[in-house]
Amino acid sequence: MRAGVVLLLAVPWTLTPALAEQQTIDAERSTVRIHAFKAGLFSAFAHDHVVAAPIAEGWIDTTGTLGVELRFSAADLRVLDPGLSPGKRAEVQKTMEGPEVLDVARHRDVLFRSASVDPAGENRWAVEGTLTLHGEARPVRAQVRLEDGRYRGTVTIRQREFKITPVSLLGGAVRVKDEVRVEFEIVPTGS
């Protein structure tokens, strides 16, 4: 079931910090996980999916004009699903990368660019921006909190908003839900 890959495709971009206040993202210590959930009459026989989305590059500005920009390479997304056999996991990976879901051959990158970052309490912000995935740019909003030098949060997106049809088998008796939850932990370099 390839729908877990929803957060993944866009237009190629080069990310470069424009101001001294911007810090690059520590891609090695930052994590982004995509959770796709099963549904349908026979969902008890299916699996939820977890996909790792390593950050290719990005920056965060916490002192000037608050903002963040992240780029992911769609081909680097990996199905984790520890409960699946290696063969079944490879099958899910292939479906996710294929033309019916991410279509990594045509949509190589996924990009998030903030438009506004508003305080929402101590060490908390409401971040609004544009997510470009599968060639479609749509607004998203996330609640972000700073804990131990890491910016953490969750955002829910709908695959259909990005023109991705959630995977469905057996006439919909087993399917992936349209809503996908993305959990992130972003670490600026030097934190």
In whole angstroms, give the CA distance from residue 35 to residue 81.
10
Sorted by where each starts, the structural domains of the chain and their CATH numbers stand as 2-186 (2.40.128.110)
E strand intervals along the chain: 22-24, 31-39, 49-52, 55-61, 67-73, 78-79, 109-119, 124-133, 136-147, 150-158, 168-169, 174-186
The count of C-alpha atoms lying within 13 angstroms of the C-alpha of 50, restricted to the half-sphere facing its C-beta, is: 10
pLDDT band per the 50, 70, 90 thresholds, residue 44: very low
Total Cβ atoms within 10 A of residue 53: 23
Task: Say what the pLDDT of residue 64 is.
Answer: 77
With a pLDDT cut of 70, the percent of the chain lying above it is: 77
- As beta bridge partners, residue 68 has 60
pLDDT in tens, 80-129: 988 888 998 898 899 889 887 889 999 999 999 999 999 999 999 999 99
pLDDT band per the 50, 70, 90 thresholds, residue 39: low
Q: Cβ neighbours of residue 170 under 8 Å, at least 6 residues apart? A: 40, 42
Task: Say what the pLDDT of residue 15 is.
Answer: 37
In whole angstroms, give the CA distance from residue 84 to residue 151.
31
Q: Cβ neighbours of residue 169 under 8 Å, at least 6 residues apart? A: 1, 46, 175
Total Cβ atoms within 10 A of residue 171: 9
